[in-house]
Structure 1
Amino acid sequence: MDDFYHSEDANNIVHLFYNADVMVYVEGEDDVPFWEVVFNSLAEYKVEVQEVGGSNELAKYIEELELGKLQGVIACDSDFEILKGNLRNPNIIRTYGYAIENSLICPSTILKVIRSVGKISAKNIPSQELGVWLSYFTRIMKNLVIYDVHNELNGLGISVVGDNCSKFLKSKKSHDVCEIKVNEFIANIGFSVSQNEIDTIINLIGEIPRDFSDFIRGHFLFSAVSKFISASIKQINSKVSISNDALFGSLLLAFENNFDEEHKHYNYYSDAIKNLSIAA
Structure 2
Amino acid sequence: MTSRTTSGIRNTDLFYRKQYLVIVEGEDDIPFWEMLFPKQISNYECKFKQVGGSEIKKYVDAVYTGNANFAVALDSDYRLFMEKIHDHVQIVETLAHSIENLIIQPMILHGIIRIASRQHEYELNKIEDWFNHFNEVLYDLMVADYMIQKEGLGIKCLSKDCRRFLKNQKTKEPIFDISNINNFIESLNLDTKKLDLIKKELRDHLTHRHIQGHFLFSSSLYFVNHEIQKIRGTKVKRSISNDDFFTMLILECQKSLSDYTDLQILREKANQAAQYVVELISKV
Q: Could you state the TM-score of these two structures normalised by the residue count of structure 2?
A: 0.85
**What residue is the counterpart of 2:126 in the other structure?**
129
**What residue is the counterpart of 1:63 in the other structure?**
61
Change in 2 beyond 3 A, CA 1:4/1:192: closer
Count of paired positions: 269
**Alpha-carbon distance in structure 2 between the residues aligned to 1:100 and 1:190:** 30
Deviations 1:71-104 (A, max 9, x none): 1111011111122232233322111211100011
**What residue is the counterpart of 1:254 in the other structure?**
252
Change in 2 beyond 3 A, CA 1:117/1:66: same
Pick from 207, 212, 221 the counterpart of residue 226 of structure 1.
221
For structure 2, list consecutive stretches of 5 or more residues without a partner in the other structure.
Answer: 280-284
**Alpha-carbon distance in structure 2 between the residues aligned to 1:199 and 1:264:** 30
Change in 2 beyond 3 A, CA 1:4/1:182: closer
Q: Could you state the TM-score of these two structures normalised by the residue count of structure 1?
A: 0.86
CA displacement at 1:59 relative to structure 2:
2.4
Q: CA RMSD in A?
A: 2.6
CA displacement at 1:201 relative to structure 2:
5.2
Asked if structure 2 preserves the Cα contact closer than 8 Å seen for 1:24 and 1:49, the reply is yes
The structure that is strand-richer by fraction is 2
CA displacement at 1:129 relative to structure 2:
1.8
CA displacement at 1:204 relative to structure 2:
5.5
CA displacement at 1:268 relative to structure 2:
3.0
CA displacement at 1:217 relative to structure 2:
0.4
* 1:119-198 matches, cutoff 5 A: 120-123=118-121, 125-172=122-169, 173=171, 174-194=173-193, 198=196
Change in 2 beyond 3 A, CA 1:117/1:28: same
* 1:14-53 matches, cutoff 5 A: 14-16=15-17, 19-20=18-19, 22-40=20-38, 46-52=45-51
Asked if structure 2 preserves the Cα contact closer than 8 Å seen for 1:43 and 1:273, the reply is no
For structure 1, list consecutive stretches of 5 or more residues without a partner in the other structure.
Answer: none
| Partner amino acid, structure 1, of 2:14 | I
CA displacement at 1:266 relative to structure 2:
2.4
Change in 2 beyond 3 A, CA 1:178/1:67: same
Residue aligned with 2:36, SS: helix
